Amino acid sequence: MSLNFLPGLSSGLLPHGVCFQLRPDLIWLHVASDTVIAIAYLMIPAALLWFITRRPAPLSFGWAIALFAAFIVLCGISHILDIVTIWQPIYYLQGIEKGLTAAVSLATAVAIIPLVPRLLSMRSPEELAEANQRLLEEIASRELAEEELRRSLTDLNRAVKELEQFAYITSHDLQAPLRTISGFSQLLSLRHRDQLQGDAVEFLDYIDKGARQMQLLIKDLLSLSRVGRADAASITRRPLADTITEALKSLKAEIDRSSADIAFGALPEIEANHGLLVQLLQNLIGNAIKFQRPDTRPSIRISIERDGDHWLLSVADNGIGIPADQLDNVFAIFRRLHGAETYEGTGIGLAICRKIAAYHGGDITATSDDSGTQFHLRLPVTIAEQRLLPAEQHEPVPA
């Protein structure tokens, strides 16, 4: 059989078809098989490319897939070259392509080995479904706990409001019989004091003193209960110096009697309920005058500075000071460090100050040393409405 019709014989190499003895059935069997394999190999990287491009987020090991796709493409090309070599002896080109395929396949194998633990750790769809179910159950449990917490907070707020309303109404209603006691005791002392014998006058003075102490206590309780009843409309912007001056007017008698030295420099305008700030400053300045060292002129310094989104208002005195272990306790209601016979008062003033600070979304603390006591009021520069303690809606109580 003559082989002159086959190209490439001049190169000294025989095409692969010679090994098949040029039998058409054998040639076309290999051609068909290699063609189908090549098409399949080339479809795999196409599918991988479609998968990668359709994902909303990139794969963390996309480079490994790219190497694998290159390996598959080269495998497909090797089968195409197998078809070509049936008629053309391009064995050098086929060898180069096989060498490239070997290099890429080795690189792919080396790259995939470190991924095996990660692939093994990937959860199956069943495991993911189970984890998702547990997550849903945990979310439902947390939502239930949050709902219980919201109900508890609602109940607590309601209880606080009812307690404040009770304190307000009770304190108001107590004033009527107390005024009767005080009025008639004073009338008795005025008209019949000379006719009283023995210790009757002393007893009458005790009644009058007790009535006045009770009136002061009721007045402070009413002040405490009213703090949470203010509304957002009472928040205004005005000079702090005007607020301090207003507070000092009501303390004029105490200031004159003690010759107190009260100083404050240039002060900014601040946003607050200035009516409540007047009350707070009255308590702090009044305490500074009251709790003074013997034979010492009261000296009170008021200053303010800005710290980011807050104002830091300080009121410092040269009084007797507060023990270090009592600095937090002094803000508790009815907490007194001295007996009423030593220093008058009800023990409510600083509790009112703390509630006023909380109403504004701030806080108040105290420090003390040998030079006296310093109160530090921290207030937001801008009072957001949600920071305010909820205003309560009550029927007005007649005076």
Q: What is the DSSP string of 305-344?
A: EEETTEEEEEEEE-SS---GGGTTGGGSTT--SS-TTTS-
Return per-residue pLDDT of the chain as tens, 399 residues: 444 444 544 456 788 788 887 788 888 888 899 899 889 888 888 887 777 777 766 666 667 777 788 888 888 898 899 888 888 888 888 889 888 988 888 888 787 777 767 666 666 677 778 888 888 888 988 888 888 888 888 887 777 677 667 666 666 676 777 777 777 777 877 777 777 777 777 777 778 777 777 777 677 666 666 676 655 567 888 899 999 998 888 888 888 888 888 888 888 888 888 888 888 998 889 888 888 888 888 899 999 998 888 899 999 988 888 887 777 777 777 666 655 555 565 667 788 888 888 888 888 888 888 888 899 999 988 875 545 554 443 333 333
Domains 126-229 and 231-389 belong to one CATH topology:
no
| Number of CB atoms found within 10 A of residue 31's CB | 16
Per-residue model confidence (pLDDT) at position 137: 87
Which pTM was predicted? 0.51
| Number of CB atoms found within 10 A of residue 352's CB | 23
The fold for domain 126-229 equals Helix Hairpins (1.10.287)
Q: Give domain 231-389's CATH superfamily.
A: Histidine kinase-like ATPase, C-terminal domain (3.30.565.10)
Tokens of 90: 């391009």
Per-residue model confidence (pLDDT) at position 124: 67
Alpha helices by DSSP H, the chain: 24-54, 62-84, 91-112, 115-121, 125-192, 200-227, 240-250, 252-258, 274-290, 349-359
Per-residue model confidence (pLDDT) at position 398: 35
Per-residue model confidence (pLDDT) at position 391: 41
Picking from 191, 214, 193, the residue whose alpha carbon sits closest to that of residue 204 is 193
Beta pairing class for 372-380 and 363-369: antiparallel
Measured distance CA(93)–CA(76) in Å, rounded: 15
Q: Name, in order, each residue with C-beta under 8 angstroms of 120's C-beta and a sequence gap of 6 or more.
A: none
Per-residue model confidence (pLDDT) at position 1: 40
- CA neighbours closer than 13 Å in the CB half-sphere of residue 87: 8
Tokens of 127: 């495991």
Per-residue model confidence (pLDDT) at position 296: 83
Per-residue model confidence (pLDDT) at position 399: 35
Q: Structural domain boundaries of the chain?
A: 9-121, 126-229, 231-389
Phi/psi region, residue 156 (left: phi>0; alpha: psi -120 to 50; beta: rest), is: alpha
